[in-house]
Structure 1
């Protein structure tokens, strides 16, 4: 499955890396994510690396939230962006997102949103296309994906995004600012996927180990914005991987915006009878 999904990346001329396997791999700034209105004040006294490493724990304590995601990449002179929006339960590690693909470059076919369910070790997709009946789900074992599903689904699992920070090597406080009207502290740094895999929760270790091996480099630059409770309000990763026959690494920017903490996040996984077991056509 990992090999076939990789071959999918980069097939739709100009749409690039991920638009095949599922939703495509794209990234960019999340809608409404741009920080604004810098707040005055000096740097916090805490050690930046230690503060950032604890971000995943703060999300689990928060319970749940709404989320917006954006994945953007530029390939062949074309920039493509995939956006998602939904809810996430950090305690159960379950999420539901409606993912919107970029318009068909040819402009001759409308793309329906794909519903994605994020679960420990699995990604479920409905309205997948490629010969899959519209009432069926496609299930993908994320441990088989060379990127650990950090980009393949066109979104980055919000908790996985936070778990990456457990491998923080360097972190610097940038400034106090705001994200969507909430006061936050902006940190910038780099994380090591291999280190993150060793320190992450059991459900994240396999996917992060796969990503550490599958990406062009295990080093992931990031910008993260934390509120007064240490919760992530916005996080942006820059991943790098080799796409198919390309020898030059492709850069993918993934942005996640979290808000409305405590919002209901009732995510139910599909029954076995609702999962498609047939062959998926190549697009």
Structure 2
């Protein structure tokens, strides 16, 4: 090979590399521009579609945190599990906080989330350890947005169908994933009207049961429009909402049994519910209990 041929071949290789770098740079710039242009859309319309993006994703793992403040006491209930958005079925292990005396934590409560129903195991209150408690979520005055000590992940997304006002805050990260942060207020009455058939009655009950149907929120969407983190702030009056004495009252247990006096009746109670979603496409196998495994006896009072 002559020196001239070597120079020509080298120039061709260099030209190809430069072209490749330019294409990559252009592509990277385009990707970043698309990601940034998420703010250019109407935030309200974007958030109205967030629940549909989860259905398209199919499944995910989830972590939940519910903070309650009442009577000068603040408690936190944590959960972890999986959820199938197409079947609207999920399973969580929910851990109550320690009691004021510092006693060891209670056994995790297993919760199965299903359309219109909440199943709880290790519920306590006189329920045998091998039995489940079943609660119709539409009969709960908070629609199970608070009662179970964790907000059903799909219900949390469907609340956003009622978004009335929202603003784009900016780009950030959640657990290493690039996300777009939105802040706004949803109306539970509107959310109930726009929700899936399975979630409509529960959200309608919540709209009537809370002190206000307006729910402030912060939500973080990835570049596929999927919720990675959402934080709702609910408000109800003690003696209403999640404090109506029904069997599934994990949130009530935390306030009354493990968080002090629980506050005076007719006192405002603030609840912040945070839901993290990750590992989309994770396998989910939720099996609801057989009728014979559901407890039919009386639930002991706190």
Q: Is 2:176 the counterpart of 1:181?
A: yes
Work out which of the residue numbers 204, 208, 212 in structure 1 matches 2:207: 212
Structure 1 distance, partners of 2:38, 2:84, is 31
Q: Corresponding residue for 1:269? A: 288
Deviation (angstroms), 1:41: 5.3
Q: Which residue of 2 aligns with 1:168?
A: 163
Match of 1:129 in 2: 124
Larger Rg: 2
Q: Is the 8 A contact 1:43 1:175 kept in 2?
A: no
TM-score relative to the length of structure 2: 0.79
Give the Cα separation in 1 of the matches to 2:104 and 2:49: 44
Correspondence 1:78 to 2:73: yes
- Aligned partner of residue 106 in structure 1, secondary structure: coil
Secondary structure at 1:82 match in 2: strand
Residue in 1 aligned with 2:140? 145
User: 1:75: how far off?
Assistant: 1.6
What root-mean-square deviation, in Å, do the aligned CA atoms of Structure 1 and Structure 2 show?
Answer: 1.3
Query: 5+ unaligned residues in a row in structure 2: which ranges?
Result: 1-34, 240-263
* 3-state SS of paired residue (2:287): coil
Deviation string, structure 1 residues 101-129 (Cα, Å, up to 9, x no partner): 00011234541110000000000000001
1:15-34 aligned at under 5 Å gives the runs none
Runs of 4+ in 1 over 6 A off after TM superposition: none
What's the CA shift for 1:43?
6.3
Query: Unmatched 5+ residue regions in structure 1?
Result: 1-39
| Corresponding residue number in structure 2 for 1:101 | 96
| 1:246 maps onto 2:265 in alignment | yes
The number of residue pairs the alignment matches comes to: 244
Distance of 1:191 and 1:41 partners within structure 2 = 24
Secondary structure (helix, strand or coil) at the match of 2:161 reads: helix
When residues 134 and 46 of structure 1 are mapped into structure 2, their CA distance, relative to the original with a 3 A threshold, is same
Instruction: Return the alpha-carbon distance in structure 2 between the equivalents of residues 106 and 133 of structure 1.
Output: 25
**Residue 118 of structure 1 aligns to a residue in which SS?**
strand
1:74 Cα deviation after fit: 1.4
Structure 1 position 89 matched with structure 2 position 84: yes
| Conservation of the 8 A alpha-carbon contact between 2:97 and 2:105 | no
Residue 65 (structure 1) aligned to one of 41, 60, 67: 60
